[in-house]
Amino acid sequence: MRSPFLPYLWLAGVILVSLLAGKARAQEDPGKAKIGKIEVTVYFATDGDPEAAGERAEEVSTSTRERLQRESRLKFSHYRALGADKQDILRSYENWAQPLKPSDEILVRFETRTQPTADSVSLDLELWLARKKILKTDALLRDGRPLFVLGPEWRGGRLIISVALAR
Amino acid sequence: MNTNPDETHLALWLDDELEGTELAEMDAWAAEKPDQLAAREELRSFRAMMMENVPASIEPPFPDFFLSRVNQGIRDIRLAEEKAVAPVAAPARSFWRSWLMPAAACAGMVFAFGIGKQNREPAQKLAVVPSLAPAVYTPEEGVDAEWFSSSNAGATVIVLQGVSAIPDSTDFSETVYVPTARESDRVADSGIKETNQGKQ
The total of structural domains in chain B comes to 2
Range of the structural domain that residue B77 is part of: 7-102
Report yes or no on B86 lying in a domain.
yes
Q: What is the predicted ipTM?
A: 0.83
- Check CB contact of B72 with chain A, cutoff 8 Å: no
| Cβ–Cβ below 8 Å for A101 and B175 | yes
Report yes or no on A98 lying in a domain.
yes
The total of structural domains in chain A comes to 1
Report yes or no on A8 lying in a domain.
no
- Check CB contact of B184 with chain A, cutoff 8 Å: yes
Angstroms from A31 CA to nearest CA on chain B: 18
| pLDDT tens over chain B, length 200 residues | 557 888 888 888 888 888 888 888 888 888 888 888 888 888 888 888 887 776 555 555 555 556 666 777 777 777 777 777 665 554 555 555 666 666 767 676 766 666 555 555 444 444 445 456 788 999 999 999 999 999 999 999 999 999 999 999 988 876 555 555 444 455 555 444 433 333 33
Report yes or no on A157 lying in a domain.
yes
Range of the structural domain that residue A79 is part of: 31-166
| Cβ–Cβ below 8 Å for A154 and B195 | no
- pLDDT tens readout for residues A65-109: 999 999 999 999 999 999 999 999 999 999 999 999 888 999 999
Q: Is-contact A136 A11, C-beta < 8 A?
A: no
| Cβ–Cβ below 8 Å for B153 and A74 | yes
Tell me, rounded to whole angstroms, the distance of Cα A128 from its chain centroid: 14
Report yes or no on A14 lying in a domain.
no
| Cβ–Cβ below 8 Å for B150 and A71 | yes
Contact map slice: B 99-138 vs A, CB within 8 A: 127-128, 130, 132, 134-138
One domain, residues B96 and B171? no
One domain, residues B40 and B90? yes
DSSP state of B167: P
Separation CA A6–CA A17 (nearest Å): 17
Q: Tell me which of B69, B87, B102 is where a domain ends.
A: B102
DSSP string, B121-178: -TT--SS----SS--EE--STT-EEEEEEETTTTEEEEEEESPPPPPTT--GGGT---
Taking residues A121-138, report their average pLDDT.
Answer: 94
| Cβ–Cβ below 8 Å for B153 and A70 | yes
One domain, residues B94 and B14? yes
A90 has which bridge partners? Answer: A34
The CA angle B82-B86-B87, to the nearest 5 degrees, is: 95
Report yes or no on A106 lying in a domain.
yes
